[in-house]
Structure 1
Amino acid sequence: MALPSRLLLQGAVAVGGLVPVLAGGAGALGGPAALGLDVGGADAGSHFRYLSGLLLAIGLGFWSCIPGIERRGRRFALLTGLVVLGGLARLGGLAADGVPSAPMAAALVMELAVTPLLCLWQRRLAG
């Protein structure tokens, strides 16, 4: 395995993991107001915080793959599957609700393009 490729992948996962860790942490702690949203009601806020906690956990899960990344294929693939499924749900929302804001569109690109490409890179490293 090429050491530079391994280090580059580890760096990419570290940087990419910032997105779900920061967004999930902010949403879990700050609720919908962290995104400037007013969803109204305790139930909606509770659900938003729960989903934000899941996002945070996914980011931490990806970070847990960084050490020995070439041996974390199953975990990496599971996390990628979760992210892609969420991205497909977001894509469905595009058809139902219209084009989202730029940050949400960027999240869609991360979910349906960047994360699967990182997974393919990890598989390539694993041999």
Structure 2
Amino acid sequence: MLNLEILTPTRTILSEEVDEVSLPTETGQIGILPQHATLVTGIEAGLLQFRTNETWRKIFSFSGVAEVDNNNVQVMILDAENIEDINLDYAKKKLDESLEILNQAKTDRQKKDAEKGVNVARKRLYSLSLLDA
């Protein structure tokens, strides 16, 4: 078993034992099983999944960092959304809003921040497409 803890700056999203974790890292999805080697990795916005017995649960995570050590998986992210609470219309609306902010950005900093927002919105839509797969 793995001890999984998912934290944001303002709340603990989850703290329980699970059998397996799949993390959206900067280099792609990575699977974590018991006895995994020690690891520290960046977390990208995307689908964070964890399994207990045969049941997979999923959340949409924002960026952060994860540490794996001695069967403990600690995921520290900026925020998360319950994937079941995200509908297609909401995801499309967030993408449209993000694209509008990008189109109105004037400075390099504003453009960079807006591009991050567009990236998160696109990954949210992509994560929804994986739910039926």
**Whose helix fraction is larger, Structure 1's or Structure 2's?**
1
TM-score normalized with structure 2 length: 0.37
RCO greater where, 1 or 2, for CA within 8 Å and sep 6 or more?
A: 1
Return the structure number with greater strand share. 2
